[in-house]
Chains A and B, each alone.
Chain A
Amino acid sequence: EAQVTQNPRYLITVTGKKLTVTCSQNMNHEYMSWYRQDPGLGLRQIYYSMNVEVTDKGDVPEGYKVSRKEKRNFPLILESPSPNQTSLYFCASSLWGPEVETQYFGPGTRLLVL
């Protein structure tokens, strides 16, 4: 089954404790992206990747890191989480990019930073 998986689905952590949210797709997609969704602000792009070893900042990259060492995986890293990073995070992928086709979304990761 074609899908985008994220882990964990729910996470409670404390300020400053490094964490990684994994994202994996099994569709051999080139393009992958991370979004955060906050009430009243809608979806905002954090980082995206057009291919292996190619990553670019989105609208709200501060406080986040990503890597794309393999085509299928695109982990989101919070080196020193802060309470303002409490949010709902979505990973998405598509074969080329949202300018030419729709994206597949992961189920979301709810993060609470205390």
Chain B
Amino acid sequence: KNEVEQSPQNLTAQEGEFITINCSYSVGISALHWLQQHPGGGIVSLFMLSSGKKKHGRLIATINIQEKHSSLHITASHPRDSAVYICAVMDSNYQLIWGAGTKLIIKP
């Protein structure tokens, strides 16, 4: 079983829909990262969380440490949000453990 599981693996939605991508982990962590990988391959860090919630524009990330779960939400989704979204956790040994990614396609 992977230590970091993302769901869904693939998600296709219509423009304007509210998007939720989930990340569950099985190890103790000190931080959780959400990243976005564009179709061209470039990677951008979106958030780093250790508790609570963060918001940047239309993106919201939450984490529940007790439940070992994080969600990334996109409000008013747009085709330019189409990308692979990756969750990564920093474990107690200061190692980053990466999820497999969620491929999001937003149709106009």
Contact = CB atoms under 8 A, between A and B. Distances in A.
Contact of B33 (A59, A90, A102, A104): A102
Contacts of A42: 86, 98-101
Contacts, number: 49
Interface residues of B, number: 22
Q: Is the interface of B mostly helix, strand, loop or mixed?
A: strand
B42 A99 contact: no
Given A42-B86, A42-B98, A98 B31 contact: yes
Interface string B69-108: 0000000000000000010101000111011110000000
Most B CB contacts (10 A, CB to CB) among A45, A101, A105, A107 go to A105
A81 interface: no
B10 interface: no
Contacts of B41: 88, 107-108, 110
Given A97-B94, A98-B96, A99-B94, A43 B45 contact: no
B98 A99 contact: no
Given A102-B47, A104-B45, A110-B41, 17 more contacts: A40-B100, A42-B86, A42-B98, A42-B99, A42-B101, A43-B98, A45-B96, A88-B41, A90-B43, A98-B33, A99-B30, A99-B31, A99-B90, A100-B48, A102-B46, A105-B43, A108-B42
Interface of A: 40, 42-45, 59, 88, 90, 92, 97-105, 107-108, 110
